[in-house]
Amino acid sequence: MNGRHLARSAAVLALGLVAVACSGGPGGGGASSNQPSTLTVWLMNGSAPPSIVDGVNADFKARHPNVKVDVQIQQWSDVTTKLDTAFAGGAPPDVVELGNTLVAKYAAAGALSNVTSKKADFENSSTWLQSLTDSCTLSGKLYCVPYYAGSRAVVYRKDMFDRAGVKPPASTDEWLQIGQKLMDTNRSDADFSALYYPGKYWYAALPFVWDMGGDIATQSGGQWKGTLDSPSSQQGLTTLANMVGKLSRADKTGDELKQDAAFVQGHIAMLVANGWEIGVITDPKTGDPSLKDKLGVFPIPSHTAGQTAPVFLGGSDLGIAARSRAQDLAQEWVGLLTGKKWQTQMATVGLVIPNTTALLSANDGQPLIGTFASAARNSRFVPNSPNWANVESANVIPDMLVSIFTGKASVADATKSASGQVTQILNGKS
């Protein structure tokens, strides 16, 4: 009798899995987009400020008074699962914002509309940032529209630098030296981090790898090969591990999501951050406006004095779901947000790098944001493969960093294992 009970419980367990896998996706996109009178848009948390979203919607409303635009904000942490279910269902959102490292996966699977023939209709298309355009391109076809970019630099507290008598560094070695001086000056503060570096922060680790001539993976003859275990990659990671060990009291297994909140607490002198994080740090709700005048920004230095290290060019693109029933409306909405008017706002209000080289100087007057924009000129990208998203999903690089920083594995062992995983995943079937 109990046997049947058990079998049932076991099966219910399994059923749970299947039920989630098969459900058409509760993910908000839903039923409303069945009618062409509604346009559903998924934007990511922190991308466009509400004032810009409202402005774009108002412009859209002026042209299509009968169409309701439903903008839904998604969280980065679980977005891939939501996207999978939404795209598999019959009524996906019409417009989706995709991190530029994710596009290839969804384009290859046939989830996004091919907009190659419409390219000229988009306002900035002749001056789009090359690396964003590349992230939208698969086998020569365009599957999304560049939205905005972001690159990282070091945000620092000028007052703490003054107290320790240090200046922004010109090289990696100098960076470590001023960091140690800051640690010395703040010896009495057990929570103090000269450089706050959460262990899983892989975007901030890539500049160290690239600066020494290393890379995540290289492609030859259609085959990928993980290269995090190359001597140059290992050298860069060793430098980083040394800095983290000496300068950071951040959680070695934590991620960067809470770093701005931590920075505001006043025990941190330096942070590797995106331009828009300045806004979070100085916002009266999420941060401390009084920090505004105390902040400075310098680009991540190179091991070669006077140069800067290549940074990861993050960013987002806007895609149109292949199954959307409102292709034309979706295209028009995307055209507005990625056009000149609202991209200028994205730069000046949203504090990101706009999608066009024509607007790169939009923030030139601003000392802080200007540094981020110029850092983007020396930027690199992750391997452009439909399988790259799976390397991210499997946490390969964050896991590697955590093992190195916590001393669980040597740089040699950790990179060897991570590199093997990268090779395997990139060459696997997507």
Partner 1 sequence: MCAVPSADGAPGSAAAAAGPRTGTLTRRRLSRRRLPRRAAPYLLIAPALVVIAAVMAYPMGFLASLSLQDYGLRELLAHQGVWAGAANYARLASDPLFWQVVARSLAFTATAVLLSMVLATLLALLMERCSGPVRLLLGGGLIFVWATPVVVAVDIWQWMFDYEFGVANWALTHLHLGSHVHHNWFENPVEGFAIITALVVWGALPFLVVTLYAGLVQVPLELVEAARSDGATAWQVFWQVTAPLLRPIFAIVLSLSTIWDFQVFNQVWIMLNQRPSSTYYVMGVYSYVEAFRVTQYGRGAAVSIVLVAILMLATFFYVRQMARTGELE
Cβ-based neighbour number of residue 26 at 10 Å: 11
Question: Beta partners for 98?
Answer: 317
* Residue 128, SS3 per DSSP: strand
- Of residues 244 and 369, the one with the C-beta less far from partner 1: 244
- Of residues 21 and 31, the one with the C-beta less far from partner 1: 21
CA distance 407 to 123: 51
Q: How far is the CB of 130 from partner 1 (least distance, A)?
A: 27
- Of residues 344 and 430, the one with the C-beta less far from partner 1: 430
Q: How far is the CB of 56 from partner 1 (least distance, A)?
A: 28
Question: Beta partners for 339?
Answer: none
- Of residues 82 and 118, the one with the C-beta less far from partner 1: 82
* Residue 171, SS3 per DSSP: coil
Are the beta carbons of 363 and 348 closer than 8 angstroms?
Answer: yes
Binding site residues, partner 1, CB under 8 A: 2-3, 6-15, 17-22, 77-78, 80-81, 84, 87-88, 105-106, 108-111, 190-191, 200, 249, 251-255, 262, 390, 393-395, 398-399, 402, 406, 429-430
- Of residues 43 and 79, the one with the C-beta less far from partner 1: 79
Q: How far is the CB of 136 from partner 1 (least distance, A)?
A: 18
Q: How far is the CB of 391 from partner 1 (least distance, A)?
A: 9
Q: How far is the CB of 80 from partner 1 (least distance, A)?
A: 7
Query: How many helices (H) and strands (E) would you count in the chain?
Result: 17, 16
Q: How far is the CB of 69 from partner 1 (least distance, A)?
A: 25
* Residue 218, SS3 per DSSP: strand
Question: Beta partners for 315?
Answer: 149
Would you state the structure tokens that stand for residue 51, as one six-digit string?
A: 């004032």
Are the beta carbons of 64 and 329 closer than 8 angstroms?
Answer: yes
- Of residues 12 and 31, the one with the C-beta less far from partner 1: 12
Neighbouring residues of 54: CB distance < 8 A, sequence distance ≥ 6: none
